[in-house]
Amino acid sequence: MSAHDHADHDHTHGGAAHGSLKGYLIGFFLSVVLTAIPFWMVMTGAIDNKQATAIIIMAFAVVQIVVHMVFFLHMTPASEGGWSMLALIFTVILVVIVLSGSLWVMYHLNANMMPGLHEMREMP
């Protein structure tokens, strides 16, 4: 009997199945499309409103993150008994709290600390 019996080896490595070539190709195609569309939008100036363009690009980025997680990282609610998804949700909550708190602090520092245009003209 060998030290490592390949017949009994679990190829799923803990229950999470590896992706197929078809799954990887679908993920790659979606990633390329989700990168090319925002790139085209910015390079051609398809939308004149910069805020709308930024929001659309962020939406594409969120969708691309999900595509990468599902097709390349194989993170699904069933993988690892749901613990990887729970860790992801916790991480997302922390990142949202840190980013929104940082933006809130920076906005209020700018609004309350920086002199306005009319105040700068009155300075000697």
Type of residue at 100: S
Q: Picking from 35-39, 40-44, 59-63, which range would have the lowest pLDDT averaged per residue?
A: 59-63
Confidence of residue 42 (pLDDT cuts 50, 70, 90): very high
The single residue listed with the structure tokens 């993920």 is: 27
What is the predicted pLDDT for the residue at 30? 96
- pTM of this prediction exceeds 0.75: no
Confidence of residue 117 (pLDDT cuts 50, 70, 90): low
Token pair listed for 39: 């790139």
Token pair listed for 64: 């691309």
What is the predicted pLDDT for the residue at 7? 47
Contact 75, 84 (CB under 8 A): yes
4 half-sphere exposure, CB direction, 13 A CA radius: 3
Residues whose CB is less than 8 angstroms from the CB of residue 100 and which lie 6 or more positions away in sequence, other chains included: none
Residue 107 dihedral angles phi and psi, to the nearest 5°: -60, -50
Token pair listed for 11: 């190829």
What is the predicted pLDDT for the residue at 9? 45
pLDDT in tens, 8-27: 444 455 544 577 999 999 99
pLDDT in tens, 60-113: 998 998 899 889 988 877 878 878 878 888 988 998 999 899 989 988 887 787
Residue 18 dihedral angles phi and psi, to the nearest 5°: -75, 155
Residues whose CB is less than 8 angstroms from the CB of residue 24 and which lie 6 or more positions away in sequence, other chains included: 71, 72
Residue count of the chain, please give it: 124
Residue of higher predicted confidence among 37 and 88: 37
